[in-house]
Structure 1
Amino acid sequence: MINNLNAQIDESTLTSQHHENGKFINETPTAPTTLAKTLKIMWRYIRENRIDTEPNQALPMKVVSRDLLDGLSNSEIHVIKLGHSSFILKVLGEYWLLDPVFSDRASPFSFIGPKRFQPTPISIANLPPIDRVLISHNHYDHLDKNAIIALKEKVKHFYVPMGVEGDLKRFGVDENNISSFDWWQSTSLGNSMVTFTPTQHFSGRGLSDANTTLWGSWVIEANGQKLFFSGDSGYFNGFKEIGDRFGPFDLTLIETGAYDKDWHDIHMTPEESVQAHLDLRGQVMMPIHNGTFDLAFHAWYEPLNRVSAAAAQEHVALCTPIVGETVTLGKAYPTTPWWK
Structure 2
Amino acid sequence: MKRRSFLKFSALAALFGLGASGTSMALSRNANRYHSGPVSDHFDGTRFFNPDGASPKGFSDLLKWKFGGTQVKWPATVTSPFAPARPDPRVEGDALKITMVGHATMLIQTAGLNILTDPVWSDRASPLSFAGPKRVTAPGIAFEDLPEIDLVLLSHNHYDHLDLVTLARLRQAHNPLVVTPLGNDAIIHAHTPSMRVITADWGQSVESGPATIHFEPCHHWSARGMNDRSMALWAAFVIETAGGKILHIGDTGFDKGRPYKNAREKHGKFRAAILPVGAYEPRWFMKDQHQNPDEAIDGFLMSGAEFALGHHWGTFQLTDEGRDAPAEVLDAKLAEKGVAKDRFRPLHAGESWEAPATSV
CA–CA distance in 2 between the matches of 1:331 and 1:315?
A: 24
Aligned residues: 319
Q: Counterparts in 2 of 1:127-138, with a 5 A limit?
A: 127-138=146-157
CA distance 1:83–1:50, shift in 2 (3 Å): same
SS in 1 for 2:107: strand
CA–CA distance in 2 between the matches of 1:322 and 1:164?
A: 28
SS in 1 for 2:229: coil
More displaced 10-residue stretch of structure 1: 147-156 or 212-221: 147-156
Q: Are 2:90 and 2:112, in contact at CA under 8 Å, matched by a contact in 1?
A: no
CA–CA distance in 2 between the matches of 1:224 and 1:164?
A: 29
**Is 1:148 aligned to residue 172 of structure 2?**
no
SS in 2 for 1:122: coil
**Equivalent in the alignment of 2:119:** 100
Equivalent position to 1:258, from 276, 279, 284: 279
How far off is 1:73 after superposition?
A: 4.4
Which 4+ stretches in 1 moved above 6 angstroms? none
CA distance 1:241–1:71, shift in 2 (3 Å): closer
How far off is 1:56 after superposition?
A: 6.8
Q: Are 2:134 and 2:317, in contact at CA under 8 Å, matched by a contact in 1?
A: yes
List per-residue Cα deviations over 1:13-37 (Å, max 9, x = no partner): 3253200140000022313432212
How far off is 1:77 after superposition?
A: 2.2
CA–CA distance in 2 between the matches of 1:131 and 1:56?
A: 31
SS in 2 for 1:232: coil
SS in 2 for 1:37: helix
SS in 1 for 2:274: strand
CA–CA distance in 2 between the matches of 1:56 and 1:179?
A: 36
Q: Are 1:160 and 1:180, in contact at CA under 8 Å, matched by a contact in 2?
A: yes
How far off is 1:170 after superposition?
A: 1.0
How far off is 1:331 after superposition?
A: 4.9
How far off is 1:181 after superposition?
A: 1.2
**Is 1:245 aligned to residue 245 of structure 2?**
no
SS in 1 for 2:306: strand
TM-score (norm 2): 0.83
**Is 1:319 aligned to residue 345 of structure 2?**
yes
Q: Are 1:87 and 1:100, in contact at CA under 8 Å, matched by a contact in 2?
A: yes
**Equivalent in the alignment of 2:232:** 213
List per-residue Cα deviations over 1:242-295 (Å, max 9, x = no partner): 111113111111110101221211111211111111111111111111111111
**Equivalent in the alignment of 1:338:** none
Q: Are 2:124 and 2:134, in contact at CA under 8 Å, matched by a contact in 1?
A: yes
List per-residue Cα deviations over 1:49-92 (Å, max 9, x = no partner): 53343377533233233xx4226445522211101110112222
Identity among equivalent positions (%) equals: 28
CA distance 1:129–1:186, shift in 2 (3 Å): same
How far off is 1:95 after superposition?
A: 1.5
CA–CA distance in 1 between the matches of 2:323 and 2:125?
A: 16
Q: Counterparts in 2 of 1:185-200, with a 5 A limit?
A: 185-200=204-219
CA–CA distance in 1 between the matches of 2:59 and 2:188?
A: 28
Q: Are 1:158 and 1:178, in contact at CA under 8 Å, matched by a contact in 2?
A: yes
Q: Are 2:91 and 2:113, in contact at CA under 8 Å, matched by a contact in 1?
A: no
CA–CA distance in 1 between the matches of 2:58 and 2:71?
A: 24
Q: Counterparts in 2 of 1:36-51, with a 5 A limit?
A: 36-44=60-68, 48-51=69-72
**Equivalent in the alignment of 2:313:** 290
Equivalent position to 1:59, from 59, 76, 80: 80
SS in 1 for 2:114: strand
CA–CA distance in 1 between the matches of 2:167 and 2:77?
A: 31
**Equivalent in the alignment of 2:220:** 201
List per-residue Cα deviations over 1:180-220 (Å, max 9, x = no partner): 01111112323221101111011001001100000111111
Q: Are 1:160 and 1:179, in contact at CA under 8 Å, matched by a contact in 2?
A: yes
Q: Counterparts in 2 of 1:7-86, with a 5 A limit?
A: 8-10=34-36, 13-44=37-68, 48-54=69-75, 57-65=78-86, 68-70=87-89, 72-73=91-92, 75-86=94-105
The letter of the residue matching 1:100 is P
Report the aligned-residue RMSD: 2.1
The letter of the residue matching 1:243 is R
Gapped regions of structure 2 (runs ≥ 5)? 1-32
CA–CA distance in 1 between the matches of 2:163 and 2:78?
A: 26
SS in 2 for 1:228: strand
Gapped regions of structure 1 (runs ≥ 5)? 1-6, 334-340
Q: Are 1:247 and 1:282, in contact at CA under 8 Å, matched by a contact in 2?
A: no
CA–CA distance in 2 between the matches of 1:173 and 1:213?
A: 18
How far off is 1:298 after superposition?
A: 1.0
The letter of the residue matching 2:147 is P
CA–CA distance in 1 between the matches of 2:312 and 2:100?
A: 11
How far off is 1:145 after superposition?
A: 1.2
The letter of the residue matching 1:26 is N
CA–CA distance in 1 between the matches of 2:222 and 2:322?
A: 25
